[in-house]
Amino acid sequence: MAEHPGLYGSPSRPYSMRASLIIPDDASDDLDPSTVRSDVFSAAWHTVQKQWRHHRHSILVGVILVVCFALVMCFFTTQGAVVAQSRAPQKTWRTISHLMIVNTTEFQAFVGPLAEMTMNAQTWPRAQPIAGWQLAGDPLGFVGSVKGGMHALTYVDVDFNNTRQVVIAFRGVNPADTLDGLADRCADFLLWYGGYENAKSSDFIDFAFECQEKFNYRTLGYYSQAIDHTRSVLAAYPGASILLTGHGMGAGLALLVSASNLSPETGPMPVIAFSAPSVGHALQARNLKMWKAESSLAYIIGDRWDREMSMTDDVMKGHVCAYETPRPDSCATCQAQQAAAAEHRHRRLLEHSKGIVTEPSVSPECKECSERTHDLSHVIALLTTQQRPYCT
């Protein structure tokens, strides 16, 4: 057999292939194991260098692609967490569907603070503290003017960083004989009765003239003011979960704002409304609709004998939760007066022009019925009883 020079100057000896490396046949007898390991590592390193020289461009491209993929995954994971965090609170308020089945204690615990916020909006600045809630900072905490205009309070959860919950409470009609109260009554007429033009065929002619003389449409544009205020709250608290509430006219405003869907990415805002009026005409006049999915986020709570509550069937606007109470005699009389008035409207208009008829809607019986069934203090008293309303 031909002899070859030894590896690294070692004596010449025959060679054979072992484990794909050139190792002497008698290496197991006289070769230092450390030398074998060194030869193996050296051969492997040379192989790596050779592969690197031939494929370094492909390897670099692969590494770059892996890094880019990792960065993209990190970005979308982070964005997903942010989106989930911003949307999660909205699901908190959207769980109001549970009000259909909860017991009396749970119903009171959920609705009670909202009724207190609504009462504070009605009695401002004589407001009572509400556990777990605080007024938003100026200028959003309180909105309103003694010269007339929409009034509202905005509350923020004291644990806002975790819950992201906000409540806007719209005030109802101020019953006081003040300029502010008159503006509320005029705006209430415009919102639900279709405007001054309809006064020509009703018993509100003199009242409509008084409204026109003392206020402009900007002052009485309560719906526009409610929309502007809600948008300001959305801008001040991005990603917040907003619930709307109110009593009477304020409840109607809450329903209109919800139907306006100011936050398309999260959908209509949930509503807890107390003694809400009929909003059918107001929705149609503004080309608004409350579809089934949207109306399921609205609850109207009140006395079953409340005349305003009895007008809720004209349009699907949410769940109606009515307390079963004995019908006051004044409400029975008022209802009979209204039925008679509807049958003799033309005659009543002629008599009204001569000043010899009392408008049934403001008769003593109807006033007493409203005080006993529609007043917010009455609804709050019902909330403290050991019964819960029947919701449909």
- The pLDDT tens digits for 204-263 are 667 778 888 999 989 999 999 999 999 999 999 998 999 999 999 999 999 999 999 888
Q: What angle do CA 283, 285, 287 make, to 5 degrees?
A: 65
Burial class (CB within 10 angstroms; exposed 0-12, middle 13-18, buried 19+) of 129 = exposed
Amino acid at 98: H
Question: CA–CA separation, 283 vs 250, rounded Å?
Answer: 15
CA distances from 207 to 40, 200, 250, 298, 355 (A): 105, 11, 21, 32, 14
Where is mean pLDDT largest: 83-87, 121-125, 347-351, 367-371? 121-125
Which residues touch 259 (CB under 8 Å, ≥6 apart)?
A: 268, 283, 288, 289, 290, 294
Expressed in percent and rounded to 5, the helix, strand and coil fractions of the chain are 55, 10, 30
Amino acid at 239: G
Q: Are 321 and 309 in contact (CB under 8 A)?
A: no
* Residue 78, pLDDT score: 53
Q: Are 174 and 181 in contact (CB under 8 A)?
A: yes
Burial class (CB within 10 angstroms; exposed 0-12, middle 13-18, buried 19+) of 29 = exposed
Looking at the predicted structure, is the pLDDT value of residue 362 above 70?
A: no
Residue, of 352 and 385, whose pLDDT is higher: 385
* Residue 82, pLDDT score: 39
Question: CA–CA separation, 113 vs 298, rounded Å?
Answer: 17
The tokens for 182 are 């008159």
CA distances from 105 to 4, 56, 93, 98 (A): 99, 72, 18, 13
Looking at the predicted structure, is the pLDDT value of residue 330 above 90?
A: yes
Question: CA–CA separation, 258 vs 368, rounded Å?
Answer: 31
Which residues touch 316 (CB under 8 Å, ≥6 apart)?
A: 290, 292, 295
Residue, of 21 and 391, whose pLDDT is higher: 391
**Torsion (CA) 85, 91, 92, 94 in degrees, nearest 10:** 160
DSSP lists the bridge partners of residue 23 as 16
Looking at the predicted structure, is the pLDDT value of residue 23 above 60?
A: no
Looking at the predicted structure, is the pLDDT value of residue 128 above 70?
A: yes
> Which of 36-45, 169-178, 352-361 comes out lowest in average pLDDT?
352-361
Closest to 169 measured CA to CA, from 224, 103, 250, 236? 250
CA distances from 328 to 307, 340, 388 (A): 12, 19, 20
The model's pTM is 0.71
Residue, of 136 and 51, whose pLDDT is higher: 136
What is the secondary structure of 302-339 as a DSSP string?
EETT-TTGGGGGGS--SEEEEE--PPPHHHHHHHHHHH
Residue, of 101 and 141, whose pLDDT is higher: 141
Instruction: Tell me the percentage of the chain whose pLDDT exceeds 70.
Output: 68
Question: CA–CA separation, 190 vs 286, rounded Å?
Answer: 13
Q: Are 171 and 151 in contact (CB under 8 A)?
A: yes
For residue 380, how many C-alpha atoms fall within 13 Å in the half-sphere facing its CB?
Answer: 15
